Amino acid sequence: MPILKVESVRKASNDRETLRVYPVTTKLTKEERNVVTKFAESRGVARGQWIRDVILAQLQHASRNNAALAEILGIRLLLVNVLRPLAAGQKLTPETFDKLLDEIGTAKYDLAGKLVSERRR
C-alpha cells in the first residue's frame, strides 16, 4: 500500500504556487536562536512555523493599519474640502460633492501609503 496516492502527488505538483517552497532567512546569534526555539516549542509549534506566523501576522497588521489610516485621511479630506467652501459662503452642489467623494476615494490610499513610507525613513 503506497503512503501517498498518485492523485495527491499530481495535484500538489500542479498546484506548486500554493506550496511553501520559498524560503526566507535571517541571521541570529546562537543565543537568539535558542530563545526563539524555546519560545516556539513552548507554543507547541516548530521554530520555522512560529517565525512564519509572526511574519504573516505583522503583514496583516500593517495592512489593517494602512486601511484605517486611509479612511481617517478620507474623512479629513472630506471635512476640509466641504467645510472650507461652506465657511466662505459658497454653495456645494450634489454633483460637486459626488465628484469630491470619488476623488477622495481614489486618493486616500495613495496618501496613506506615502505617509507610511515617509514615516519609515
User: 32: which 3 cell numbers?
Assistant: 537568539
CA distance 13 to 70: 40
Say how many C-beta atoms besides its own lie within 10 A of residue 113's C-beta. Answer: 13
| Predicted local confidence at residue 114, as pLDDT | 84
Report how far residue 40's alpha carbon sits from residue 24's, in angstroms, rounded to the nearest whole number.
17
pLDDT of residue 42: 96
pTM value?
0.49
pLDDT per 10-residue tile (average), the chain, 121 residues: 47 60 89 95 94 85 78 93 92 92 91 78 62
The pLDDT assigned to 14 comes to: 53
Q: What is the pLDDT of residue 6?
A: 46
For residues 25 and 17, the answer to whether their CB atoms sit within 8 Å is: no
Task: Provide the pLDDT for residue 38.
Answer: 96
